[in-house]
């Protein structure tokens, strides 16, 4: 939707700020905003800025005075100056072989930009709420499967051990979990052991006994009035 509507980073920031202002008007000074991973890559103006930065970084020396910024187009320069300093630094980091920025903390960038926008609106009495953003990045966690009982128990034990260490004033340590004799793990069968060999022999005996009974029943079915038939069926 962002790419289809050709929305700018300012549009996204204003949209989030608008929602927060409307919620603040009815007393909802809280909420959760889900940001799709890679959102910034779908904003056309950001794509253009990254492309121009790639060209500059490949041929120019980035100086602290900012002379290199003159190589940016007016639109990209305005966007670059609009970004928080931390995001500006991330945009200047090394690229991968495809020229992509390795990591842009989109969630932190939007928090800073929304905070700036809400502060400006507060100065104009357009926002009366309190904003304190907390970012969480769920990468692999967002697309992983549900934890098994083993995962839950194992992580609970690790957290309990870490808490016990902190309560005891032990820092700079790593908690680990190892198995002790509180339960018995399932054992593997030794296929050449004496017990298994005896069991294997017994299977043939039991199968032979069952087949003999089955044949007997089939024969006795020819004599439904025979008292032996009912005795065999009761036995089975």
Query: Per residue in 80-91, pLDDT tens?
Result: 888 888 888 888
Domain limits of the chain?
2-142, 149-234
> Which SS3 state, helix, strand or coil, does residue 101 take?
strand
Task: For 53-84, give one letter per residue: b (16+ CB within 10 A) or e.
Answer: bbebbeeeeeeeeeebeeebeeebbebbebbb
**CB of 14 closer than 8 Å to CB of 114:** no
Percent with pLDDT over 90 in the chain: 22
135: region left, alpha or beta (phi > 0 left; psi from -120 to 50 alpha): beta
What is the pLDDT confidence band of residue 201, given thresholds at 50, 70 and 90? low
- What pLDDT digit, counting tens, does each position of 85-136 carry? 888 888 877 666 655 666 778 888 899 899 999 999 999 988 988 889 999 8
Closest alpha carbon to 10 in 34, 55, 46: 46
pTM of the predicted model over 0.85 = no
How confident is the model at residue 178, as a pLDDT?
A: 80
Q: What H or E segment, with its residue span, contains residue 117?
A: helix 106-123
The pLDDT of residue 220 is 54
């Amino acid at each position: 939707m962002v790419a289809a509507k050709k929305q700018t980073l300012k549009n996204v920031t204003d949209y989030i700020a608008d929602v927060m202002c409307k919620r603040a008007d009815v007393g909802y000074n809280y909420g959760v905003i889900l940001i799709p991973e890679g959102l910034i890559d779908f904003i056309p103006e950001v794509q253009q800025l990254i492309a121009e930065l790639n060209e500059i970084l490949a041929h120019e020396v980035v100086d602290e005075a900012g002379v290199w910024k003159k190589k940016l187009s007016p639109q990209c320069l305005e966007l670059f100056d609009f970004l928080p300093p931390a995001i500006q630094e991330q945009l200047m980091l090394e690229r991968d072989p495809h020229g992509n920025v390795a990591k842009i903390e989109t969630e932190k960038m939007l928090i800073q930009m929304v905070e700036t926008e809400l502060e400006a609106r507060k100065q104009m009495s357009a926002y009366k709420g309190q904003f304190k953003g907390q970012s969480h990045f769920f990468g692999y966690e967002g697309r992983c499967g549900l934890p098994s009982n083993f995962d839950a128990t194992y992580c609970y034990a690790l957290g309990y051990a870490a808490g016990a260490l902190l309560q005891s004033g032990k820092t700079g340590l790593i908690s680990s979990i190892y198995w002790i004799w509180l339960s018995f793990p399932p054992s593997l069968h030794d296929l050449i052991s004496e017990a298994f060999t005896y069991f294997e022999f017994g299977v043939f005996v039991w199968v032979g006994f069952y087949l003999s009974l089955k044949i007997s029943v089939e024969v006795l079915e020819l004599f439904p009035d025979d008292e032996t038939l009912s005795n065999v069926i009761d036995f089975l």
